[in-house]
Amino acid sequence: MCGIAGWAGRPGEPELLDRMGLAIAHRGPDDRGRMVRPGAGFAFRRLSIIDVAGGNQPIENEDGSAAIVLNGEIYNHHELREELRRRGHGFRTRSDVEVVLHLWEDEREACLERLRGMFALAIWDERERTLFLARDRVGKKPLYHCSLPDGTLVFGSEIKAILQHPDVPRVPDLAAIDHYLTLQYVPSPLTAFRGIGRVPPGHWLRWRDGEVTVGRYWELRYGPKHAEPEAELREELARLLREAVAVRLESEVPLGAFLSGGVDSSAVVALAAQASGRRLQTFSIGFDVDGFDESAYARLVAERFGTDHHELRVTGGAPELIDDIVWHYDQPFGDSSAIPSFHVARITRPHVTVVLNGDGGDEAFAGYSRYARVSRNARYLGLPAPLRFAMFAAGRAAGPLLPRARRLAEFRPRSPYEAYAATLTHLSPARKPWLYSGEALLDLAGAAPPPMELLQRRRQPFLLDAMLEADVNHYLPDDLLVKMDVATMAHSLEARSPFLDHRLMEFAARLPPGLKLRGASGKHLLKEALRGLLPDAVLDRPKMGFGVPMGDWLRTGLRDLLQDALLSDRALGRGWFRPEAVRHMVSRQLAGHDEFHRVLWDLLLLELWLRRFVDAVPAPVLERAPSR
């Protein structure tokens, strides 16, 4: 696991590569590397996991005509290495990265279809004078890029590395900001900076003489559906999951697992504990607020499988972490579970260097309650428009609504697809004209962000598949995987996600909807495959997200920060939002009402990001120790 950065095009100073590497030093504190060629430069920071002694990068091929830097892990590198040796390739290291370079020499972009793992990579071909970038199928590892007016392409694992280039502007992208306020994250391929984009999951990018070509090599397909009996599918699912966990246990450094107490992380811990042959270390977060604490279930699983369990209690919103969160995420990121994610990564790193997690199980097997809620209410959305709108109006007039019900009432959806879009929305189109004041933002307020566009333009035969597809293409890579990658790499910790194994995901995508969502309960087949392995108390309890008591925190530990940031002359004077609307939301929140707490958190992170990355004169890059 590493950090990569570089450029192709007009020659840059070697010192620029040093600054780019320093900006992402937290991703790889163990070693560093640099390549300078007339047409390209690579900077590399290494977190040593495989071939600790000999796997530093960049790695060149036999004659030096091609070089690679790669962030990630390739789990089938042993099999590929033997195949390449039979083809005549020689190897200088035991690294999985050298395997990828030789495979690319033979197969070019088609090599990506052969890789099993997570990766973001860059390859410079000296003969063809081309730079080749690629990202893993699901988007586990990040890869950003910026094309400059002179044709130079700058890239990096994090935006802060790209910002070290003096010709890269720090200008907010208002379309991205509008989408951020809708979703709580900036959707791909946009970033919050104008002119800086990201390679989408499952895509490659080729640069040559200032021209950029982008191609897609993988897309998750939801058909044709499996026709085998449920018992056979259950056995195959158990086999695939067990294998996905097993291949992710290779490591030359200590390995553990995050354990929330939910089905997915518990399954990973159970299978890893059985396969590893040593006592597994597990790590969890607990809260002192009812409705948010899963620690009792995590302890139950830890006890069953005899893990060395570590638990941290979190209170008050951790205002001391906010500055670190803003710095590490590079752009406004409103998923408040970034706070406990930072905490659990912090307590994990002193014990292990690699950690397994349960990311991806909900998107593969329909674990979120919103899938059942939209499916259950789909028939009502087929009613004539006057009757449908009257029902929403009656619901709003009946009194306080749950946050998701309030979003439905504001959205007034006309179809199940619009209803699902409403469940993903933090700031509805109806609310934006009340909040926005700047003409530029008001002009953008009606634009649908990419997840909603996907729901509108593609209609899977099954509603559930359409919802899952939207989440796999945006919510998963742009929110959840960003959160996990940044939180772990901020602490020089590698995270591996067995549920994101592409073979397991492809199998799950082709399951009939009834084997995922049965009534109000998701993950039907997965839970049955785990029955007898995990405690029934874990399998049968209601779904609880990795949420935080943000409403309470904004009134207590984060109160001063909220007021000082959002009610300041600087924030109110930006001209983007109506000052009276912001003051009203803050006043309501501090008075004990939580209807605006999600939007306030998003606005707070946006303001702090603007101050850190846009307003301030960039400070010199220094070696930055991981957060403690």
pLDDT in tens, 595-605: 999 999 999 99
Residue-averaged pLDDT of the chain: 90
- Domains 2-216 and 221-547 are alike in CATH topology: no
- pLDDT higher than threshold 70 for residue 387: no
- pLDDT higher than threshold 50 for residue 606: yes
Task: Read off the pLDDT of each residue in 429-437 and give the average, rounded to a whole number.
Answer: 91
pLDDT in tens, 219-235: 999 999 999 999 999 99
So what's the pLDDT on residue 362?
Answer: 97
CB 285, CB 314: distance < 8 Å: yes
Identify the top-confidence range among 6-15, 199-208, 295-304, 381-390. Answer: 199-208
- pLDDT higher than threshold 90 for residue 269: yes
- Report residue 361 as tokens: 């199980």
- Report residue 262 as tokens: 């939910």
CB 270, CB 533: distance < 8 Å: yes
Identify the band that residue 276 occupies on the pLDDT scale cut at 50, 70 and 90. Answer: confident
CATH of domain 2-216: 3.60.20.10
- pLDDT higher than threshold 90 for residue 50: no
Strands 255-258 and 354-356: parallel
So what's the pLDDT on residue 624?
Answer: 47
Look-up of token digits 């004077």: 573
So what's the pLDDT on residue 392?
Answer: 57
Task: Read off the pLDDT of each residue in 451-462 and give the average, rounded to a whole number.
Answer: 84
At residue 180, what are phi and psi to the nearest 5 degrees? -60, -45
**Dist CA 436 CA 444 (whole Å):** 10
Cα–Cα distances in angstroms (integers) from residue 300 to residues 266, 309, 537, in the given order: 10, 11, 9
For residue 419, count CB atoms less than 10 angstroms from its CB and return exposed for 0-12, middle for 13-18, buried for 19 or more: buried
So what's the pLDDT on residue 253?
Answer: 84
- Which one is predicted more confidently, 512 or 340? 512
Task: Read off the pLDDT of each residue in 26-41 and give the average, rounded to a whole number.
Answer: 92
So what's the pLDDT on residue 432?
Answer: 92
Q: Angle between the 559-566 and 597-609 helix axes, to the nearest 10 degrees?
A: 60
Identify the band that residue 626 occupies on the pLDDT scale cut at 50, 70 and 90. Answer: very low
Sign, Cα dihedral of 226, 228, 233, 239: negative
Q: Is 2 a catalytic residue?
A: yes
- pLDDT higher than threshold 50 for residue 400: no
pLDDT in tens, 83-127: 999 999 999 889 999 999 999 999 999 999 999 999 999 999 999
Task: Read off the pLDDT of each residue in 311-325 and give the average, rounded to a whole number.
Answer: 80
So what's the pLDDT on residue 401?
Answer: 44
So what's the pLDDT on residue 544?
Answer: 65
Please name the residue ranges forming H helices in 381-501: 385-397, 403-411, 416-423, 432-435, 439-444, 450-457, 463-470, 481-489
So what's the pLDDT on residue 485?
Answer: 97
- Measuring CA to CA, which residue among 407, 372, 391 is closest to residue 518? 372
End-to-end Cα, the chain, rounded Å:
20
Residue in 1, 2, 186, 600 annotated catalytic: 2
- Which one is predicted more confidently, 93 or 282? 282
What is the percentage of the chain residues whose pLDDT exceeds 70?
90
pLDDT in tens, 319-351: 778 999 999 999 999 999 999 899 899 999 999
- Measuring CA to CA, which residue among 212, 200, 221, 310 is closest to residue 259? 310
- pLDDT higher than threshold 60 for residue 621: no
**Dist CA 104 CA 125 (whole Å):** 10
The torsion angle over the Cα atoms of residues 170, 4, 502 and 108, rounded to 10 degrees, is: 110
**Dist CA 215 CA 199 (whole Å):** 10
- Which one is predicted more confidently, 449 or 291? 449
Residue type, 538: V
CB 626, CB 26: distance < 8 Å: yes
Identify the band that residue 456 occupies on the pLDDT scale cut at 50, 70 and 90. Answer: confident
- pLDDT higher than threshold 50 for residue 278: yes
Task: Read off the pLDDT of each residue in 432-440 and give the average, rounded to a whole number.
Answer: 88
- Measuring CA to CA, which residue among 158, 51, 144 is closest to residue 624? 158
- pLDDT higher than threshold 80 for residue 65: yes
Please check whether the domain covering 221-547 is classified as CATH 3.40.50.620: yes
CA-based R_g, the chain, Å: 24
Please name the residue ranges forming H helices in 312-402: 319-329, 338-348, 361-365, 369-377, 385-397
Look-up of token digits 């073979």: 503
So what's the pLDDT on residue 31?
Answer: 86
So what's the pLDDT on residue 625?
Answer: 42
- Which one is predicted more confidently, 538 or 288? 538
> What residue ranges do the domains of the chain occupy?
2-216, 221-547, 550-615
